[in-house]
Amino acid sequence: MKPILIVEDEAAIAAALAILAQRLGRRAVTAPSATLGLQALEADPPALVLLDIGLPDASGLEALARIRARDAALPVLVITAHGNLQNAVEAKKRGASGYLVKPLDLRELERTMRALLLVADDGAAGGAIGGAAGAARAGAMPHAPLLIGSSPAMQPAFAAIAHACAADVPVLLTGPTGIGKSLCARVIHLHSARQAGPFVTLACASLPDALLEAELFGHEKGSFTGAEGRRIGHLERAAGGTLFLDEVAEIPPPLQVKLLRFVEEKTFVRVGGREDVRVDLRIVAATNQDLVAAIAERRFREDLYYRLRVLEVKLPPLCERLGDLPTLCAYLLAACGGNRPLSLSAAALAVLRRHAWPGNVRELRNVLEHAAAVCSGPVILEDHLPAELLRAAGGAGPAPQQALDAALHEWLETRLPAGVTYDQLHDELEGRLLGALLPRHHGKPTLLARALDMNRATLRRKLRALLGASDDGDDEPTAG
């Protein structure tokens, strides 16, 4: 039976992956560099390759290209500790069969490995995990806008976008207003097989129902008052490319029926027309609403929901990715500063970190445009930020729950790259919580146990394990 080749320079991770390979009934061959990995691949052809991007002698993406040149069908699962959209898209472009970000979810990793091994055993690895091998297209990608950031909260979105770029199926973008869904749709189009075709946007919430139907499907001469001639709609304009339906939940139910027919059959009838029109295109839809709730309220068709949601990309709000603020600010300031280089002072960045960002990246862009307009020098100071933002930062600030959520996400961004387990995260949080509660009860575990309705012995055991509390004396623990 062919082995699993593990190309990973971190010995502890390589050893853990080798154990997992053995649990799947396979031999494990490990290599700490791209060069040794390629040599091992030649000497002992594997059934599956686990390939790290950050290798000491070369990028794993370069090694992936060489693996694909040798064997276009071999499943390759790319693993990285530095997840960003460029890595995800490039991995899929070069033929990765899967893409996972450290710290690894072992259950997800095992499921993915089993699926890839099944495909490999069937001799059809080219169709593995999203048809990734078919995504390696010749020619360089055009310059495209990219979603900025590399925070842990963005990693699932980057992986989903990479799958969407490699496939040619409908995609649903979900998340709150202002997070960049239209930018995400453009990225998917420009990195897809339809990149040479048009990218057409229809804002479904901006038009009344009757006009929305005509704009989407087009109309024939005389179909309504003012229709002096035939006009093609957005569907025909997007032929061969991508149609982006922004705020798709705003499409009224009667139009949803016509849209469903088009998604399933690729044909439609213009308003006032009788003949079927056939168009080949891809639909990317976006919404900030809960479509499952809309289905329950009969505002959105369930069958259309499933047809539009073949792939889903969930984009997180800005408050869950505050670690990306410095990079986002640098990018946005470069855009709004013109020929003048602008940077943020530490104090100004601290104010931005304390804000809840209900308007997400759109709100951040407006704040920075304001600051750039009032700043005469090269550095944006705290006083250059909008007055309402400063008042919020100096006053009550964000709501306690929002502040806690933001702090938790920022803390996770510092801990997850260290490869900690869920149990370690849980213990650290519980230790901090008990450490904050104990002084409120005069440092006495008995009083704290009573207030928490917790068994006193259980609490003492937790305090010893989590806080290093001493058991000398009945109620006088000391911090270790």
The backbone torsions φ and ψ at residue 226, rounded to the nearest 5 degrees and listed phi first, read 95, -10
Starting at the edge strand that comes first in sequence, how are the strands of the sheet with 48-52 ordered? 28-31, 4-7, 48-52, 76-80, 98-101
Domain covering 318-399: architecture: Orthogonal Bundle (1.10)
Gap between the Cα atoms of 309 and 313, Å rounded:
9
Which residues lie below 8 Å from residue 20, measured CB to CB, with a gap of 6+? 106, 109, 110, 113
Beta bridge partners of 199: 242
Nearest alpha carbon to residue 219 among 284, 279, 277, 278: 277
Gap between the Cα atoms of 469 and 463, Å rounded:
5
* Encoded amino acid at 410, one letter: E
Are 4-135 and 318-399 in the same CATH fold?
Answer: no
CATH of domain 4-135: 3.40.50.2300
The backbone torsions φ and ψ at residue 22, rounded to the nearest 5 degrees and listed phi first, read -65, -35
Please confirm whether the linkage preceding 103 is cis (ω < 30° from 0). Answer: yes
- Indicate if the alpha-carbon torsion angle 373, 376, 377, 379 is positive or negative: negative
Domain boundaries, the chain: 4-135, 168-314, 318-399, 421-467
- Does the reported pTM lie above 0.85? no
Cα–Cα–Cα angle for 111, 114, 118, nearest 5°?
Answer: 140
* pLDDT at residue 142 in the model: 34
Q: Distance from CA of residue 206 to its chain's centroid?
A: 27
CATH fold of the domain at 168-314: Rossmann fold (3.40.50)
The structure tokens listed for 7 are 């190309």
- Per-residue model confidence as pLDDT tens for the chain (480 residues): 899 999 999 888 898 899 899 888 899 999 999 999 999 999 999 999 999 998 999 999 999 999 998 888 899 999 887 667 788 888 888 888 888 877 777 778 888 888 788 766 544 333 333 322 223 222 333 334 457 777 778 888 888 898 898 899 999 999 999 999 999 999 899 889 999 999 999 999 999 988 899 899 988 886 776 677 778 899 999 999 999 999 999 999 999 999 999 999 999 998 888 889 999 999 999 999 999 999 999 999 999 999 999 999 999 999 988 888 988 888 888 878 777 788 899 889 989 998 989 999 999 999 999 999 998 888 999 999 999 888 876 644 455 666 677 677 777 777 777 777 888 888 888 888 888 888 777 778 888 888 888 888 888 888 777 655 444 444 443 333
Which residues lie below 8 Å from residue 447, measured CB to CB, with a gap of 6+? 441, 475
* pLDDT at residue 403 in the model: 63
Q: Are residues 84 and 36 in contact, defined by beta-carbon separation less than 8 angstroms?
A: no
